[in-house]
A and B are shown apart, each in its own frame.
Chain A
């Protein structure tokens, strides 16, 4: 299978005052692949997502998306247009559902732009024209297919905020998928899930990748998820990229081990390696 690049990140840098949260990061995410971004707390993973989805006005670097919808330079686009035009959807590290709207409404709101056009920017909808009713029906069917898949059909009229935590996480993914994206960015989707739920999530993500043919960017601390389903892993530490490779490559990379296990480990490293590291000024 040939890999076609979906997102090319080139020299991405993001500063907050004096703090360099993301420091000259470059990587490529491919279509129909799961690309994981891992790294210790505060490494800058969420910041990369926020740059990609237009939440910060001034990232430095180039973010080139070449999906089914054409080529876009994300760093030049407004936040909402990235989702609307370029087709980048995301979830949040701390769930951001619409808690007092129902589960179904959450999935329908995600199809806002399609429905807005069908409702003739409200006029046709007010008149109850057929065109709008057909579009609404299609939106409901898409929502139903996701609800069936998540086993939430019976709860479709619940307030989303009353769902159990694990279901909220999955509903947020379904909501992002209802925008029909070409690239789905998931920020720690397995956080707070129990082992059974996290296994379910792995199934959901691989299925989504294969059935919908989209690329997935995945931030995750749960190594069973990361190592189990990613095609390719990028490791960040203090804002810089320290590794980029397949799960097995990354697992045995000494820089990654050091980033995760901390300084004590250097005492056990062979003296030559420890000496090299000192010269590089990493410790």
Chain B
């Protein structure tokens, strides 16, 4: 491209940025205390910075097409990414965005300079596939060890541990939904309904009968699975968009029933005082009732509220790992392969004598069961549940985790959950721009990795090596 075309292209991008930034960044309304009404503060400096940023960024990306320019751009953008935080603008978002933008350009330049793209492009992406297979093989166990040690790492504060529990809950939900969406290819927008069913069944059963967590947990899973089948029946014939709409409706129906059936679910007030989990019957309380012993007394420790958090962390870690091992195993069994075959071509499945009804219903039931387990965990962890926790946004986030991961790989769900749940928590200071950043990240991933972060599928079965040898 010649210089004029480049400038025109970058100018156009800058114009779009200007059109967006002028109203959104340019004016801020401030509620001045004392006076009635609001005053408007202008921030045209920040608008200028944003527009300049887009102009330079676009220009840099275009110039990357030119081999000679790659190294200078790499050096410059890396320097800017490091140096920019030292500059102060009136608005931290601008600084953050500039840093991220220059970092992206630096990575892209480095990618091209070191010819990574050429390696990836060769052999229909076999190298990339090997790389992701490698990540899958080694990264997984390392991650598990890290997760087990996590509560005892020096950097782990109570806040971080809570965040870990939250991320693991979504990892588990992602793995559960992956059975339905990733393996069976049934787009389910109402997954949170089963999460809610699990949470409410746990809360109600535990409160009514006073049974322990370990009795109520399977029951909650069972109830959710039952609802999975109930939802499954009417939607058996639907596919794609139609299925998505009906499941979306189902999720809302459950939420609205919970909201309105006050005598049963407590309505909008929810259910409070959900029994807390205990360690094999030893509660995590400072002063246990007469005649019983608490966890800290059992081990001769001083009472600390963190004990329960650590216990909850290991509980969700164990539940998540069970979900993972179960799905990994079932994928290699006939039912798992039938799910994938159904995702690929339902007509061909029927021609091979596979019962599509049963196959779909088991996928719904098993996916729902894991959501039920996660829901029971959620209820016992919070001690309080209300319909608000089970809005459509939850379904959307879980689905986003599954889609981001590339549908099928188990590690990808972990990365996506960290990305979608963990990182936004860290970026709380971005305030209202948090969701914007979230959206931008999603769009970015869809552009650069349209098949997901780790679009890799391990064959579920191989021919045994020796001809006619043992399996």
A interface residue numbers (CB < 8 A to B): 53-55, 79-85, 89-90, 92, 96-102, 104-105, 108-110, 112-113, 115-116, 119, 121-122, 125-126, 133, 136-137, 140-141, 143-144, 147, 153, 156-157, 162, 175-176, 179
User: Are A83 and B352 in touch, CB under 8 angstroms?
Assistant: yes
The answer to whether the Cβ of B348 comes within 8 Å of any Cβ in the partner chain is yes
User: Are B355 and A109 in touch, CB under 8 angstroms?
Assistant: no
Given contacts A126-B329, A140-B461, contact A99 B344 (CB under 8 A): yes
B interface residue numbers (CB < 8 A to A): 124, 326, 329-330, 333-335, 337-338, 340-341, 344-345, 347-356, 362, 457, 459-464, 467-468, 470-471
Closest 3 CB pairs of A and B: A84-B353, A83-B353, A98-B344
User: Are A126 and B341 in touch, CB under 8 angstroms?
Assistant: no
Q: Which residue of A lies closest to B469 (CB)?
A: A137
Given contacts A90-B351, A97-B348, A122-B333, contact A104 B356 (CB under 8 A): no
A147 to B462, CA, bound (A): 13
Which of B326, B355, B463, B471 is the most central at the interface, judged by chain A CB atoms within 10 Å of its CB?
Answer: B463
Chain B residues with Cβ below 8 Å from A137 are 464, 470-471
Chain A residues with Cβ below 8 Å from B350 are 54-55, 79-80, 83
User: Are A119 and B347 in touch, CB under 8 angstroms?
Assistant: no
Given contacts A104-B462, A179-B352, contact A109 B333 (CB under 8 A): no
Chain A residues with Cβ below 8 Å from B340 are 98, 101, 105
User: Are B353 and A81 in touch, CB under 8 angstroms?
Assistant: yes
Which of B326, B344, B345, B457 is the most central at the interface, judged by chain A CB atoms within 10 Å of its CB?
Answer: B344
Chain B residues with Cβ below 8 Å from A157 are 459, 462
A110: contacting residue among B329, B335, B352, CB under 8 A: B352
User: Are A100 and B463 in touch, CB under 8 angstroms?
Assistant: no
What is the distance, in angstroms, from A100's C-beta to the closest C-beta of chain B? 6
Chain A residues with Cβ below 8 Å from B467 are 144
User: Are B459 and A140 in touch, CB under 8 angstroms?
Assistant: no
What is the distance, in angstroms, from A69's C-beta to the closest C-beta of chain B? 12
A96 to B353, CA, bound (A): 14
User: Are A141 and B468 in touch, CB under 8 angstroms?
Assistant: yes
User: Are B344 and A84 in touch, CB under 8 angstroms?
Assistant: no
Which of B337, B347, B457 is the most central at the interface, judged by chain A CB atoms within 10 Å of its CB?
Answer: B337
What is the distance, in angstroms, from A138's C-beta to the closest C-beta of chain B? 9
Chain A to chain B contacts (Cβ below 8 Å), 18 pairs: A79-B351, A80-B349, A82-B353, A83-B353, A96-B348, A97-B345, A97-B348, A102-B459, A104-B462, A105-B460, A108-B461, A109-B341, A109-B352, A116-B335, A116-B338, A119-B333, A140-B464, A140-B471
Q: Which residue of B lies closest to A156 (CB)?
A: B463
B355: contacting residue among A54, A84, A115, CB under 8 A: A84
User: Are A104 and B337 in touch, CB under 8 angstroms?
Assistant: no
Chain A residues with Cβ below 8 Å from B362 are 122
User: Are B459 and A126 in touch, CB under 8 angstroms?
Assistant: no
Chain A residues with Cβ below 8 Å from B344 are 98-101
User: Are A101 and B341 in touch, CB under 8 angstroms?
Assistant: yes
A116: contacting residue among B329, B334, B341, B349, CB under 8 A: B334
User: Are B334 and A126 in touch, CB under 8 angstroms?
Assistant: no
Chain A residues with Cβ below 8 Å from B461 are 102, 104-105, 108, 136, 140
User: Are B345 and A98 in touch, CB under 8 angstroms?
Assistant: yes
Chain A residues with Cβ below 8 Å from B463 are 104, 140, 143-144, 147, 153, 156
Q: Which residue of A lies closest to B359 (CB)?
A: A112
What is the distance, in angstroms, from A205's C-beta to the closest C-beta of chain B? 18
Which of B124, B329, B351 is the most central at the interface, judged by chain A CB atoms within 10 Å of its CB?
Answer: B351
A98: contacting residue among B335, B341, B471, CB under 8 A: B341
A272 to B470, CA, bound (A): 73
Which of B335, B349, B356, B461 is the most central at the interface, judged by chain A CB atoms within 10 Å of its CB?
Answer: B461
Chain A residues with Cβ below 8 Å from B329 are 126
A115 to B336, CA, bound (A): 12
A97 to B344, CA, bound (A): 8
Chain A residues with Cβ below 8 Å from B347 are 55, 92, 96
Chain A residues with Cβ below 8 Å from B355 are 80, 84
A256 to B354, CA, bound (A): 39
A153 to B333, CA, bound (A): 22
A185 to B468, CA, bound (A): 30
20 extra interface residue pairs, beta carbon distance < 8 Å, beyond A108-B461, A109-B338, A126-B329: A53-B351, A80-B350, A80-B355, A84-B353, A92-B348, A98-B345, A100-B457, A109-B337, A112-B334, A113-B354, A116-B335, A116-B338, A119-B335, A122-B330, A125-B334, A125-B335, A140-B461, A153-B463, A157-B462, A176-B351
A122 to B337, CA, bound (A): 12
Chain B residues with Cβ below 8 Å from A115 are 334
Chain B residues with Cβ below 8 Å from A110 are 352
Chain B residues with Cβ below 8 Å from A112 are 334, 337-338, 341, 352-354
A116 to B337, CA, bound (A): 11
Q: Which residue of A lies closest to B351 (CB)?
A: A90
Which of A97, A105, A140, A144 is the most central at the interface, judged by chain B CB atoms within 10 Å of its CB?
Answer: A105
Chain A residues with Cβ below 8 Å from B341 are 98, 101, 109, 112
A141 to B461, CA, bound (A): 13
User: Are A105 and B471 in touch, CB under 8 angstroms?
Assistant: no
A176 to B347, CA, bound (A): 13
Chain A residues with Cβ below 8 Å from B348 are 92, 96-98
Chain B residues with Cβ below 8 Å from A125 are 333-335
A61 to B459, CA, bound (A): 44
Chain A residues with Cβ below 8 Å from B334 are 112, 115-116, 119, 122, 125
User: Are B459 and A179 in touch, CB under 8 angstroms?
Assistant: no
User: Are A89 and B351 in touch, CB under 8 angstroms?
Assistant: yes
Q: Which residue of A lies closest to B332 (CB)?
A: A125
A179 to B329, CA, bound (A): 24
A101 to B457, CA, bound (A): 9
Chain B residues with Cβ below 8 Å from A147 are 463
User: Are B459 and A104 in touch, CB under 8 angstroms?
Assistant: yes
B354: contacting residue among A53, A80, A100, A105, CB under 8 A: A80
What is the distance, in angstroms, from A96's C-beta to the closest C-beta of chain B? 4
Q: Which residue of B lies closest to A100 (CB)?
A: B344
Q: Which residue of B lies closest to A136 (CB)?
A: B471
